C-alpha cells in the first residue's frame, strides 16, 4: 500500500463487527493508533488518516472507507468489504471466508432480512452470537483511543493479521494443490491424490476441501489421498464423509498402521501409487 497511515479513525458510540474488523486489518498493516470520534473535513482530506465506516464517502486514494452513502439497492458491502478491496484480497476473502457474506448482509440489511436470506428464523440467528464478539465489541465501543500495546488494540491487530495471513496463504496453498494434485478413478469413484513434494507443506491436506469447491468437485470426489505429515506414507480419508469408502476394511493390511473405528480415515506407510490404489479398492464399499 503506497499511503503510510498515521491514524485510523472510526465513529464513536456503538461498535459493529464490520468497522472493528476493518480497523483490525488496517492496524495489522500500519500499526498506528485507532481514534473513535466523528471525522472533520480535514480528516477526510488527509490520506494519512483512514476514515472507516463514517464520513459519507468511499475514496480509497484518500483512505476513506464508508458505505452508508450507497443506495438502498446497492449490493451488500460494508466498511470491511471496502478495506479488503483496498488491500487487494476481497475476492479471495469472499471465496475462502464463509462468514464474510453474511457479515455484509447483517451490517447492511439488518438481522431480520439476513435471517430470511440465510433461510433461518430470527431467533436462530441470535443463538449464534459469540461472547467473544460481544466482549470485543463492547470494549472497543467504550474506547476513545487505542494505541499499539493496548490489550484491545493488540487483539485487533492479531485478528487482522491472522485474517490477512489466512487469505493469502490459502491462495498460495490452492495454487500449490492445483499444480500438483491428480484425480484418480477407483471403481466408479473419483479420488484426489496429492503427491509428496520437497519441501513438504506443514499441513499437507490443508486446503484440499476448499480446492475441490473451487473446481466444482466437492460433491463428486469420494476420497482423498495425501502425504502423512507424521510419517513417510500417506493418509486416506473420505471426502465430506462420502459413503463409498470404509477404511476399517484395510485395518488388517500389514502396511496400514491406523484406521479409525468409524472408517473415515486411515494411515499407511505405503508410498507406491499402485499399492495406494490397491488399498482404495479394498476400502471401497
Q: What is the CATH number of the domain that holds 225?
A: 3.10.310
At 12 the pLDDT is 97
Last residue of a domain, one of 170, 198, 217: 170
In a shared domain, residues 66 and 156: yes
**C-alpha–C-alpha distance, residues 187 and 253, integer Å:** 20
Look at strands 33-36 and 145-146 and give their pairing: antiparallel
How many domains does the chain divide into? Answer: 2
At 201 the pLDDT is 78
Structural domain contains residue 211: yes
In a shared domain, residues 187 and 157: no
Question: Structure pTM?
Answer: 0.84
Structural domain contains residue 2: no
pLDDT tens string 35-66: 999 999 999 999 999 999 999 999 999 999 99
In a shared domain, residues 161 and 248: no
Domain enclosing residue 27, as ranges: 7-170
Show Cβ contacts of residue 239 under 8 Å, excluding neighbours closer than 6 positions.
Answer: 192, 209, 212, 218, 221, 222, 223, 224
Q: In this structure, what are the phi and psi dihedrals at residue 154, rounded to the nearest 5 degrees?
A: -65, -35
Is residue 146 within 8 Å of residue 156, measured between CB atoms? yes
Nearest to 60 by CA among 84, 38, 76: 84
In a shared domain, residues 205 and 268: yes
Is residue 27 within 8 Å of residue 157, measured between CB atoms? yes
Burial class (CB in 10 A: 0-12, 13-18, 19+), 188: exposed
3-class DSSP state of 85 = helix
Look at strands 221-227 and 189-193 and give their pairing: parallel
Q: How far is CA 31 from CA 34, 81, 112, 136, 182, in A?
A: 9, 20, 36, 19, 42
Residues of the chain with pLDDT under 70: 1-2
Is residue 167 within 8 Å of residue 89, measured between CB atoms? yes
**β-strand partners of 7:** 33, 49
At 246 the pLDDT is 98
Amino acid at each position: 500500500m503506497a499511503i503510510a497511515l498515521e491514524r485510523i479513525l472510526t465513529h464513536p458510540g456503538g461498535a459493529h463487527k464490520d468497522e472493528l474488523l476493518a480497523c483490525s486489518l488496517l492496524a495489522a498493516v500500519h500499526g498506528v493508533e485507532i481514534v473513535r470520534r466523528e471525522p472533520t473535513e480535514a480528516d477526510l482530506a488527509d490520506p494519512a488518516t483512514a476514515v472507516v465506516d463514517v464520513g459519507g464517502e468511499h475514496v480509497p486514494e484518500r483512505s476513506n472507507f464508508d458505505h452508508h452513502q450507497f443506495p438502498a439497492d446497492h449490493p451488500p458491502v460494508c466498511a470491511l468489504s471496502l478495506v479488503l478491496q483496498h488491500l487487494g484480497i476481497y475476492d479471495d476473502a469472499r471465496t475462502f471466508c464463509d462468514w464474510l457474506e453474511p457479515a455484509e448482509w447483517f451490517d447492511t440489511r439488518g438481522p431480520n432480512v439476513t435471517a430470511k436470506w440465510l433461510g433461518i428464523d430470527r431467533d436462530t440467528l441470535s443463538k449464534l452470537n459469540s461472547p467473544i464478539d460481544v466482549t470485543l465489541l463492547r470494549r472497543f465501543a467504550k474506547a476513545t483511543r487505542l494505541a499499539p500495546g493496548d490489550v484491545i488494540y493488540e487483539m485487533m491487530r492479531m485478528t487482522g493479521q491472522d485474517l490477512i495471513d489466512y487469505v493469502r496463504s490459502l491462495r498460495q496453498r490452492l495454487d500449490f494443490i492445483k499444480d500438483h494434485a491428480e484425480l484418480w478413478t477407483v471403481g466408479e469413484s473419483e479420488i484426489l491424490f496429492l503427491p509428496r513434494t520437497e519441501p513438504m507443506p506443514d499441513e499437507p491436506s490443508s486446503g484440499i476441501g476448499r480446492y475441490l469447491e473451487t473446481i466444482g468437485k466437492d460433491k463428486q470426489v469420494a476420497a482423498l489421498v495425501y502425504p502423512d505429515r507424521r510419517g513417510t506414507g500417506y493418509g486416506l480419508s473420505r471426502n465430506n464423509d462420502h459413503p463409498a469408502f470404509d477404511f476399517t476394511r484395510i485395518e488388517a493390511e500389514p502396511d496400514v498402521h491406523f484406521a479409525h473405528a468409524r472408517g473415515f480415515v486411515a494411515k499407511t506407510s505405503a508410498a507406491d501409487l499402485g499399492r495406494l490404489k490397491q488399498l482404495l479398492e479394498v476400502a471401497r464399499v
